[in-house]
Amino acid sequence: KSTTAFPIITLIITIMIRRTTSLASAAAAKPTDRIKVAILGSGMSGCSAAATLLDSSSNNNHNFDISVYEGGRGIGGRMSTRRINDESGKTMYQFDHGCQYISAPKTECFRKELDKWKERGWVQPWEGTFATVSVASTGAPASSSSSDIELSVESPSDVKERYVGYPTMNTICENLLLQPKSEQSTINVVTGKQARAVAMHHSKKEETDQPPWQLYHKDELLGSYDWLVVTDRNSAQELRPDLADANVMEFKQVNEHIQSIKSCTTMIAFEKPLPLPFDGLTFDHHSNHAVMREQFQSLGWAARDSSKPGRSRNSDSPECWVLQSNPEEAVRLLEQDELRDATLPQIREKIREQMVNDFMNCIPTLMGKSGGEESKQIMGTFKIVDSMGHRWGGAFPSFVKQELFQEMESQVFPEKQFVACGDYFGTYAARVEGAFLSGRAAANEILTCAGR
Protein backbone atom coordinates (compact mmCIF):
# COMPACT_ATOMS: atom_id res chain seq x y z
CA LYS A 1 0.00 0.00 0.00
CA SER A 2 2.55 2.59 1.11
CA THR A 3 4.90 1.85 -1.79
CA THR A 4 2.23 2.68 -4.39
CA ALA A 5 0.87 5.70 -2.51
CA PHE A 6 4.15 7.67 -2.41
CA PRO A 7 4.54 8.13 -6.22
CA ILE A 8 0.93 9.29 -6.47
CA ILE A 9 1.29 11.80 -3.61
CA THR A 10 4.58 13.05 -5.04
CA LEU A 11 2.96 13.47 -8.48
CA ILE A 12 0.04 15.49 -7.07
CA ILE A 13 2.39 17.74 -5.04
CA THR A 14 4.55 18.26 -8.14
CA ILE A 15 1.48 19.28 -10.16
CA MET A 16 0.48 21.79 -7.46
CA ILE A 17 3.96 23.31 -7.29
CA ARG A 18 4.19 23.64 -11.06
CA ARG A 19 0.76 25.22 -11.23
CA THR A 20 1.61 27.74 -8.46
CA THR A 21 4.87 28.70 -10.17
CA SER A 22 3.14 29.21 -13.50
CA LEU A 23 0.28 31.21 -12.01
CA ALA A 24 2.76 33.56 -10.39
CA SER A 25 4.29 34.32 -13.78
CA ALA A 26 0.94 34.55 -15.53
CA ALA A 27 0.52 38.16 -14.45
CA ALA A 28 3.18 39.09 -16.97
CA ALA A 29 0.95 37.99 -19.84
CA LYS A 30 0.09 40.75 -22.25
CA PRO A 31 -3.64 41.59 -22.04
CA THR A 32 -3.96 41.91 -25.80
CA ASP A 33 -2.28 38.59 -26.66
CA ARG A 34 -4.06 36.23 -29.01
CA ILE A 35 -3.95 32.79 -27.48
CA LYS A 36 -4.02 29.82 -29.83
CA VAL A 37 -5.68 26.75 -28.34
CA ALA A 38 -5.88 23.27 -29.87
CA ILE A 39 -8.57 20.93 -28.57
CA LEU A 40 -8.36 17.22 -29.39
CA GLY A 41 -11.89 15.83 -29.59
CA SER A 42 -15.31 17.30 -30.30
CA GLY A 43 -17.27 15.48 -27.59
CA MET A 44 -19.06 17.32 -24.79
CA SER A 45 -15.95 18.18 -22.76
CA GLY A 46 -14.09 19.59 -25.78
CA CYS A 47 -17.11 21.58 -26.92
CA SER A 48 -17.68 22.87 -23.39
CA ALA A 49 -14.06 24.03 -23.16
CA ALA A 50 -14.25 25.80 -26.52
CA ALA A 51 -17.57 27.49 -25.72
CA THR A 52 -16.29 28.67 -22.32
CA LEU A 53 -13.21 30.27 -23.88
CA LEU A 54 -15.30 31.96 -26.56
CA ASP A 55 -17.78 33.27 -24.00
CA SER A 56 -14.97 34.64 -21.86
CA SER A 57 -13.37 36.69 -24.63
CA SER A 58 -16.11 39.32 -24.38
CA ASN A 59 -15.39 39.73 -20.65
CA ASN A 60 -11.59 39.99 -20.66
CA ASN A 61 -8.74 41.29 -22.78
CA HIS A 62 -7.69 37.94 -24.24
CA ASN A 63 -8.71 36.81 -27.70
CA PHE A 64 -8.63 33.13 -28.59
CA ASP A 65 -8.00 31.33 -31.86
CA ILE A 66 -9.39 27.87 -31.19
CA SER A 67 -8.97 24.80 -33.37
CA VAL A 68 -10.97 21.65 -32.59
CA TYR A 69 -9.64 18.45 -34.15
CA GLU A 70 -11.97 15.46 -34.45
CA GLY A 71 -10.71 12.16 -35.82
CA GLY A 72 -14.22 10.97 -36.65
CA ARG A 73 -16.50 11.97 -39.50
CA GLY A 74 -18.63 14.37 -37.49
CA ILE A 75 -18.90 16.46 -34.36
CA GLY A 76 -20.06 14.96 -31.08
CA GLY A 77 -17.78 12.13 -29.95
CA ARG A 78 -19.98 9.75 -27.96
CA MET A 79 -22.86 12.18 -28.50
CA SER A 80 -22.70 11.43 -32.21
CA THR A 81 -25.59 10.79 -34.58
CA ARG A 82 -25.36 8.27 -37.41
CA ARG A 83 -27.19 9.52 -40.51
CA ILE A 84 -28.14 7.23 -43.38
CA ASN A 85 -28.46 9.20 -46.61
CA ASP A 86 -29.87 8.36 -50.02
CA GLU A 87 -27.99 8.85 -53.28
CA SER A 88 -28.86 12.55 -53.38
CA GLY A 89 -27.42 13.10 -49.90
CA LYS A 90 -30.81 13.47 -48.19
CA THR A 91 -31.08 11.84 -44.76
CA MET A 92 -33.47 8.88 -44.84
CA TYR A 93 -33.16 7.96 -41.15
CA GLN A 94 -30.75 8.40 -38.26
CA PHE A 95 -29.58 6.86 -34.98
CA ASP A 96 -28.25 8.25 -31.71
CA HIS A 97 -25.74 5.43 -31.42
CA GLY A 98 -23.76 6.81 -28.47
CA CYS A 99 -25.25 8.78 -25.59
CA GLN A 100 -28.95 7.95 -25.35
CA TYR A 101 -30.19 10.86 -23.24
CA ILE A 102 -29.18 13.46 -20.66
CA SER A 103 -30.27 12.72 -17.11
CA ALA A 104 -31.61 15.22 -14.57
CA PRO A 105 -28.86 17.69 -13.58
CA LYS A 106 -27.04 17.14 -10.29
CA THR A 107 -25.54 20.63 -10.07
CA GLU A 108 -26.96 24.14 -10.32
CA CYS A 109 -24.30 25.02 -12.90
CA PHE A 110 -25.42 22.34 -15.31
CA ARG A 111 -29.09 23.00 -14.59
CA LYS A 112 -28.60 26.60 -15.77
CA GLU A 113 -26.75 25.41 -18.85
CA LEU A 114 -29.45 22.88 -19.69
CA ASP A 115 -32.07 25.61 -19.30
CA LYS A 116 -30.16 27.68 -21.88
CA TRP A 117 -30.15 24.75 -24.27
CA LYS A 118 -33.88 24.31 -23.81
CA GLU A 119 -34.53 28.01 -24.43
CA ARG A 120 -32.45 27.88 -27.62
CA GLY A 121 -34.23 24.76 -28.85
CA TRP A 122 -31.13 22.57 -28.68
CA VAL A 123 -32.75 19.96 -26.42
CA GLN A 124 -36.22 18.64 -25.72
CA PRO A 125 -37.57 16.20 -23.13
CA TRP A 126 -37.89 12.59 -24.21
CA GLU A 127 -41.34 11.71 -22.91
CA GLY A 128 -41.53 8.08 -23.95
CA THR A 129 -42.49 4.93 -22.08
CA PHE A 130 -39.60 3.35 -20.18
CA ALA A 131 -39.33 -0.09 -18.67
CA THR A 132 -36.95 -2.55 -17.05
CA VAL A 133 -36.83 -6.25 -17.76
CA SER A 134 -35.50 -8.46 -14.99
CA VAL A 135 -35.78 -11.86 -13.33
CA ALA A 136 -38.73 -12.01 -10.95
CA SER A 137 -37.76 -12.17 -7.30
CA THR A 138 -39.81 -15.12 -6.00
CA GLY A 139 -37.46 -16.48 -3.36
CA ALA A 140 -37.10 -19.73 -5.32
CA PRO A 141 -34.08 -20.54 -7.52
CA ALA A 142 -34.68 -19.00 -10.94
CA SER A 143 -34.61 -21.21 -13.99
CA SER A 144 -33.91 -20.08 -17.53
CA SER A 145 -37.60 -20.10 -18.38
CA SER A 146 -39.16 -16.96 -19.83
CA SER A 147 -41.85 -17.31 -17.14
CA ASP A 148 -39.30 -15.96 -14.65
CA ILE A 149 -39.00 -12.73 -16.60
CA GLU A 150 -40.95 -9.61 -15.61
CA LEU A 151 -41.34 -6.30 -17.41
CA SER A 152 -41.75 -3.28 -15.11
CA VAL A 153 -42.97 -0.08 -16.73
CA GLU A 154 -41.96 3.23 -15.16
CA SER A 155 -44.99 4.65 -13.36
CA PRO A 156 -46.10 8.27 -13.93
CA SER A 157 -45.14 9.14 -10.35
CA ASP A 158 -41.59 7.87 -10.89
CA VAL A 159 -40.96 9.43 -14.30
CA LYS A 160 -37.36 10.65 -14.58
CA GLU A 161 -36.09 13.67 -16.45
CA ARG A 162 -34.61 12.68 -19.80
CA TYR A 163 -33.47 15.14 -22.45
CA VAL A 164 -32.17 14.59 -25.96
CA GLY A 165 -30.52 16.85 -28.49
CA TYR A 166 -32.99 18.26 -31.00
CA PRO A 167 -33.31 17.20 -33.75
CA THR A 168 -30.24 14.99 -33.23
CA MET A 169 -28.09 14.22 -30.19
CA ASN A 170 -25.00 15.88 -31.64
CA THR A 171 -26.96 19.11 -32.26
CA ILE A 172 -25.82 20.28 -28.82
CA CYS A 173 -22.12 19.91 -29.63
CA GLU A 174 -22.57 21.40 -33.09
CA ASN A 175 -24.28 24.47 -31.67
CA LEU A 176 -21.70 24.93 -28.92
CA LEU A 177 -18.96 25.02 -31.56
CA LEU A 178 -20.63 26.64 -34.53
CA GLN A 179 -22.88 29.28 -33.02
CA PRO A 180 -21.17 32.73 -33.24
CA LYS A 181 -19.96 33.82 -29.81
CA SER A 182 -17.44 36.63 -30.17
CA GLU A 183 -16.17 39.07 -32.75
CA GLN A 184 -12.73 39.01 -31.14
CA SER A 185 -12.14 35.24 -31.05
CA THR A 186 -12.24 32.59 -33.77
CA ILE A 187 -12.96 28.88 -33.89
CA ASN A 188 -12.05 26.32 -36.54
CA VAL A 189 -13.40 22.77 -36.53
CA VAL A 190 -11.57 20.04 -38.45
CA THR A 191 -13.10 16.56 -38.77
CA GLY A 192 -11.67 13.38 -40.21
CA LYS A 193 -8.10 14.11 -39.07
CA GLN A 194 -6.43 12.35 -36.16
CA ALA A 195 -4.13 15.00 -34.71
CA ARG A 196 -0.73 14.18 -33.24
CA ALA A 197 0.74 16.65 -30.75
CA VAL A 198 4.47 17.40 -30.71
CA ALA A 199 6.01 19.31 -27.80
CA MET A 200 8.52 21.94 -28.92
CA HIS A 201 11.25 21.72 -26.27
CA HIS A 202 12.45 25.18 -25.30
CA SER A 203 14.96 25.93 -22.60
CA LYS A 204 13.52 27.92 -19.68
CA LYS A 205 16.22 30.54 -20.25
CA GLU A 206 15.55 30.71 -23.98
CA GLU A 207 13.38 33.57 -25.13
CA THR A 208 11.25 32.50 -28.07
CA ASP A 209 7.98 33.47 -29.69
CA GLN A 210 7.44 29.94 -30.96
CA PRO A 211 4.40 28.29 -29.35
CA PRO A 212 5.09 25.15 -27.30
CA TRP A 213 2.88 22.85 -29.40
CA GLN A 214 2.71 21.75 -33.01
CA LEU A 215 -0.01 19.48 -34.32
CA TYR A 216 0.29 17.09 -37.24
CA HIS A 217 -1.98 14.78 -39.17
CA LYS A 218 0.43 12.16 -40.48
CA ASP A 219 3.11 14.42 -42.07
CA GLU A 220 0.83 17.44 -42.54
CA LEU A 221 1.47 20.35 -40.17
CA LEU A 222 -1.90 21.47 -38.86
CA GLY A 223 -0.67 24.43 -36.84
CA SER A 224 1.24 25.77 -33.84
CA TYR A 225 -0.52 26.41 -30.54
CA ASP A 226 -0.03 28.00 -27.16
CA TRP A 227 -2.24 25.53 -25.29
CA LEU A 228 -3.19 21.90 -25.85
CA VAL A 229 -6.46 20.48 -24.48
CA VAL A 230 -6.87 16.69 -24.59
CA THR A 231 -10.37 15.28 -24.05
CA ASP A 232 -9.92 11.55 -24.70
CA ARG A 233 -8.44 9.49 -21.87
CA ASN A 234 -7.38 6.88 -24.46
CA SER A 235 -4.93 9.41 -25.90
CA ALA A 236 -2.55 8.39 -23.10
CA GLN A 237 -2.30 4.82 -24.38
CA GLU A 238 1.06 3.77 -25.77
CA LEU A 239 -0.42 2.48 -29.02
CA ARG A 240 -2.08 5.83 -29.76
CA PRO A 241 -0.01 8.40 -31.69
CA ASP A 242 -1.87 11.40 -30.22
CA LEU A 243 0.64 12.12 -27.44
CA ALA A 244 3.59 9.93 -28.44
CA ASP A 245 5.75 13.05 -28.89
CA ALA A 246 4.03 15.25 -26.34
CA ASN A 247 6.29 14.79 -23.29
CA VAL A 248 3.38 14.62 -20.83
CA MET A 249 4.46 11.62 -18.77
CA GLU A 250 2.68 12.98 -15.67
CA PHE A 251 -0.65 12.81 -17.49
CA LYS A 252 0.07 9.29 -18.69
CA GLN A 253 1.07 8.14 -15.19
CA VAL A 254 -2.17 9.35 -13.63
CA ASN A 255 -4.13 7.72 -16.45
CA GLU A 256 -2.69 4.34 -15.48
CA HIS A 257 -5.31 4.41 -12.72
CA ILE A 258 -8.23 4.45 -15.13
CA GLN A 259 -9.42 1.94 -17.69
CA SER A 260 -11.92 2.17 -20.51
CA ILE A 261 -14.92 -0.12 -20.72
CA LYS A 262 -15.75 -1.17 -24.26
CA SER A 263 -19.32 -1.20 -25.51
CA CYS A 264 -21.09 -2.67 -28.52
CA THR A 265 -23.93 -0.88 -30.31
CA THR A 266 -26.21 -2.02 -33.09
CA MET A 267 -28.56 0.14 -35.12
CA ILE A 268 -31.63 -1.46 -36.74
CA ALA A 269 -34.19 0.05 -39.11
CA PHE A 270 -37.45 -1.92 -39.25
CA GLU A 271 -39.87 -1.60 -42.13
CA LYS A 272 -42.82 -1.29 -39.72
CA PRO A 273 -43.16 -0.33 -36.03
CA LEU A 274 -42.52 -3.06 -33.48
CA PRO A 275 -45.52 -3.84 -31.23
CA LEU A 276 -43.52 -3.40 -28.02
CA PRO A 277 -45.01 -1.47 -25.07
CA PHE A 278 -41.99 0.73 -24.39
CA ASP A 279 -39.61 3.20 -26.03
CA GLY A 280 -36.61 2.57 -23.79
CA LEU A 281 -35.79 -0.72 -22.09
CA THR A 282 -33.09 -1.52 -19.53
CA PHE A 283 -32.02 -5.16 -19.24
CA ASP A 284 -31.27 -5.66 -15.53
CA HIS A 285 -28.54 -8.30 -15.53
CA HIS A 286 -27.94 -7.73 -11.80
CA SER A 287 -31.29 -9.35 -11.01
CA ASN A 288 -29.87 -12.74 -12.09
CA HIS A 289 -27.05 -12.61 -14.58
CA ALA A 290 -27.22 -16.30 -15.56
CA VAL A 291 -30.93 -16.16 -16.45
CA MET A 292 -30.72 -12.75 -18.11
CA ARG A 293 -27.81 -13.93 -20.24
CA GLU A 294 -29.73 -17.06 -21.21
CA GLN A 295 -32.76 -15.02 -22.27
CA PHE A 296 -31.22 -11.81 -23.63
CA GLN A 297 -27.56 -12.59 -24.27
CA SER A 298 -25.62 -9.38 -25.08
CA LEU A 299 -28.42 -6.85 -24.58
CA GLY A 300 -28.16 -4.12 -21.95
CA TRP A 301 -30.38 -1.40 -23.43
CA ALA A 302 -32.86 -1.05 -26.31
CA ALA A 303 -34.38 2.22 -27.50
CA ARG A 304 -36.99 3.11 -30.05
CA ASP A 305 -34.95 5.98 -31.46
CA SER A 306 -37.86 7.11 -33.60
CA SER A 307 -39.80 8.00 -30.42
CA LYS A 308 -37.42 10.85 -29.58
CA PRO A 309 -38.37 14.45 -30.47
CA GLY A 310 -37.30 15.31 -34.01
CA ARG A 311 -36.91 11.68 -35.04
CA SER A 312 -40.56 10.81 -35.66
CA ARG A 313 -41.08 8.60 -38.69
CA ASN A 314 -43.29 9.17 -41.70
CA SER A 315 -45.72 6.50 -42.85
CA ASP A 316 -43.23 5.26 -45.43
CA SER A 317 -40.02 5.60 -43.37
CA PRO A 318 -38.54 2.84 -41.18
CA GLU A 319 -38.69 2.68 -37.39
CA CYS A 320 -35.22 2.99 -35.90
CA TRP A 321 -33.94 1.11 -32.86
CA VAL A 322 -30.61 1.35 -31.02
CA LEU A 323 -29.27 -1.60 -29.02
CA GLN A 324 -26.43 -1.30 -26.53
CA SER A 325 -24.60 -4.15 -24.86
CA ASN A 326 -24.29 -5.21 -21.28
CA PRO A 327 -20.65 -4.43 -20.27
CA GLU A 328 -19.76 -8.02 -19.31
CA GLU A 329 -21.27 -9.41 -22.47
CA ALA A 330 -19.44 -6.82 -24.58
CA VAL A 331 -16.14 -8.16 -23.24
CA ARG A 332 -17.27 -11.72 -23.90
CA LEU A 333 -18.28 -10.85 -27.45
CA LEU A 334 -15.17 -8.87 -28.34
CA GLU A 335 -12.72 -11.40 -26.88
CA GLN A 336 -13.92 -14.29 -29.01
CA ASP A 337 -11.09 -16.16 -30.73
CA GLU A 338 -12.47 -15.41 -34.17
CA LEU A 339 -12.08 -11.66 -33.52
CA ARG A 340 -8.53 -11.84 -32.20
CA ASP A 341 -6.97 -10.70 -35.49
CA ALA A 342 -10.12 -9.31 -37.07
CA THR A 343 -10.30 -5.97 -38.87
CA LEU A 344 -12.61 -3.23 -37.59
CA PRO A 345 -15.22 -3.90 -40.32
CA GLN A 346 -15.19 -7.59 -39.36
CA ILE A 347 -15.66 -6.70 -35.69
CA ARG A 348 -18.57 -4.41 -36.52
CA GLU A 349 -20.19 -7.11 -38.63
CA LYS A 350 -19.88 -9.64 -35.79
CA ILE A 351 -21.44 -7.15 -33.37
CA ARG A 352 -24.30 -6.51 -35.78
CA GLU A 353 -24.93 -10.18 -36.39
CA GLN A 354 -24.89 -11.11 -32.69
CA MET A 355 -27.01 -8.25 -31.37
CA VAL A 356 -29.61 -8.40 -34.14
CA ASN A 357 -30.01 -12.11 -33.44
CA ASP A 358 -30.27 -11.52 -29.67
CA PHE A 359 -32.91 -8.81 -30.08
CA MET A 360 -35.02 -10.66 -32.61
CA ASN A 361 -35.02 -13.78 -30.44
CA CYS A 362 -36.25 -11.92 -27.37
CA ILE A 363 -39.06 -9.92 -29.03
CA PRO A 364 -41.69 -12.64 -28.42
CA THR A 365 -40.69 -12.76 -24.73
CA LEU A 366 -40.98 -8.98 -24.47
CA MET A 367 -44.43 -9.23 -26.06
CA GLY A 368 -45.46 -11.79 -23.47
CA LYS A 369 -45.59 -14.72 -25.88
CA SER A 370 -44.67 -18.19 -24.65
CA GLY A 371 -42.54 -19.31 -27.58
CA GLY A 372 -42.84 -22.19 -30.03
CA GLU A 373 -44.51 -21.78 -33.42
CA GLU A 374 -46.28 -18.61 -32.35
CA SER A 375 -42.95 -16.91 -31.64
CA LYS A 376 -41.53 -18.00 -34.99
CA GLN A 377 -44.53 -16.56 -36.80
CA ILE A 378 -44.20 -13.27 -34.92
CA MET A 379 -40.50 -12.95 -35.71
CA GLY A 380 -41.18 -13.56 -39.38
CA THR A 381 -43.36 -10.44 -39.59
CA PHE A 382 -40.61 -8.00 -38.60
CA LYS A 383 -38.66 -7.07 -41.71
CA ILE A 384 -35.29 -5.37 -41.22
CA VAL A 385 -34.51 -2.66 -43.78
CA ASP A 386 -30.98 -1.96 -42.57
CA SER A 387 -28.68 -2.78 -39.65
CA MET A 388 -25.12 -2.00 -38.67
CA GLY A 389 -22.80 -2.59 -35.72
CA HIS A 390 -20.43 -0.25 -33.93
CA ARG A 391 -17.74 -0.70 -31.30
CA TRP A 392 -17.02 2.00 -28.76
CA GLY A 393 -13.44 1.52 -27.61
CA GLY A 394 -13.88 3.69 -24.52
CA ALA A 395 -17.56 4.01 -23.73
CA PHE A 396 -17.29 4.31 -19.95
CA PRO A 397 -14.48 4.95 -17.45
CA SER A 398 -13.54 2.28 -14.92
CA PHE A 399 -11.34 3.44 -12.05
CA VAL A 400 -8.49 1.75 -10.25
CA LYS A 401 -8.11 4.79 -7.98
CA GLN A 402 -11.27 6.83 -8.45
CA GLU A 403 -10.39 9.28 -5.66
CA LEU A 404 -7.63 10.76 -7.84
CA PHE A 405 -10.18 11.88 -10.41
CA GLN A 406 -13.00 12.85 -8.04
CA GLU A 407 -10.81 15.52 -6.48
CA MET A 408 -10.26 17.44 -9.73
CA GLU A 409 -12.51 18.42 -12.62
CA SER A 410 -9.56 18.66 -15.00
CA GLN A 411 -5.80 18.16 -14.91
CA VAL A 412 -3.53 21.06 -15.80
CA PHE A 413 0.25 21.23 -16.28
CA PRO A 414 0.78 25.01 -16.57
CA GLU A 415 4.49 24.94 -17.45
CA LYS A 416 3.70 22.73 -20.44
CA GLN A 417 0.50 24.63 -21.23
CA PHE A 418 -1.35 21.34 -21.32
CA VAL A 419 -4.72 20.49 -19.80
CA ALA A 420 -6.79 17.30 -19.85
CA CYS A 421 -10.54 17.03 -19.39
CA GLY A 422 -13.29 14.48 -19.97
CA ASP A 423 -16.15 12.58 -18.41
CA TYR A 424 -13.76 10.68 -16.13
CA PHE A 425 -12.99 13.74 -13.98
CA GLY A 426 -15.01 15.00 -11.03
CA THR A 427 -17.92 13.62 -9.06
CA TYR A 428 -20.22 12.95 -12.01
CA ALA A 429 -18.11 10.60 -14.11
CA ALA A 430 -19.59 8.89 -17.18
CA ARG A 431 -22.34 11.52 -17.47
CA VAL A 432 -22.87 14.33 -19.97
CA GLU A 433 -22.93 16.66 -16.97
CA GLY A 434 -19.52 15.46 -15.80
CA ALA A 435 -18.04 16.00 -19.27
CA PHE A 436 -19.53 19.50 -19.50
CA LEU A 437 -18.22 20.53 -16.08
CA SER A 438 -14.77 19.11 -16.84
CA GLY A 439 -14.48 21.01 -20.14
CA ARG A 440 -15.57 24.19 -18.41
CA ALA A 441 -12.96 23.66 -15.69
CA ALA A 442 -10.23 23.09 -18.30
CA ALA A 443 -11.08 26.38 -20.01
CA ASN A 444 -11.02 28.19 -16.67
CA GLU A 445 -7.54 26.81 -16.00
CA ILE A 446 -6.34 28.37 -19.25
CA LEU A 447 -8.04 31.66 -18.37
CA THR A 448 -6.42 31.65 -14.93
CA CYS A 449 -2.96 30.99 -16.36
CA ALA A 450 -3.52 33.76 -18.92
CA GLY A 451 -4.33 36.18 -16.13
CA ARG A 452 -7.95 36.47 -17.25
Confidence of residue 420 (pLDDT cuts 50, 70, 90): very high
> Which pLDDT does position 137 carry in this prediction?
74
Gap between the terminal Cα atoms of the chain: 41
How many secondary structure helices (H) and strands (E) does the chain include?
A: 11, 21
Q: What angle (nearest 5°) sits at the alpha carbon of residue 76, between those of residues 75 and 79?
A: 155
What does DSSP assign to residue 288? -
pLDDT in the model for residue 242: 93
Q: What percent of the chain has pLDDT over 70?
A: 83
Q: Which pLDDT score, from 0 to 100, does residue 29 have? A: 45
Helix (H) or strand (E) holding 79: none
pLDDT above 50 (res 318): yes
Query: 37-46, 226-235, 313-322: which range is least confident on average?
Result: 313-322
- Is residue 144 scored above 70 in pLDDT? no
Average pLDDT over residues 112-134: 97
Has residue 443 got a pLDDT over 80?
yes
Q: What is the pLDDT of residue 294?
A: 93
Signed CA dihedral, 437, 443, 449, 452: sign only: negative
3-state helix, strand, coil in the chain (%, to 5): 35, 25, 40
Query: For residue range 73-98, what is the model confidence (pLDDT) as tens digits?
Result: 899 999 999 999 999 989 899 999 99
Alpha helices (runs of H) in 262-406, residue ranges in sequence order: 289-296, 327-334, 344-366, 372-379, 402-406
The mean of the pLDDT values for the chain is 86
Q: Could you tell me if residue 41 is left (phi over 0), alpha (psi between -120 and 50 degrees) or otherwise beta?
A: left
Three-state secondary-structure class, residue 55: helix
- Predicted pLDDT at 330: 92
Strand ordering across the sheet containing 34-40: 186-191, 63-70, 34-40, 227-230, 418-420, 411-413
**Size of the chain in residues:** 452
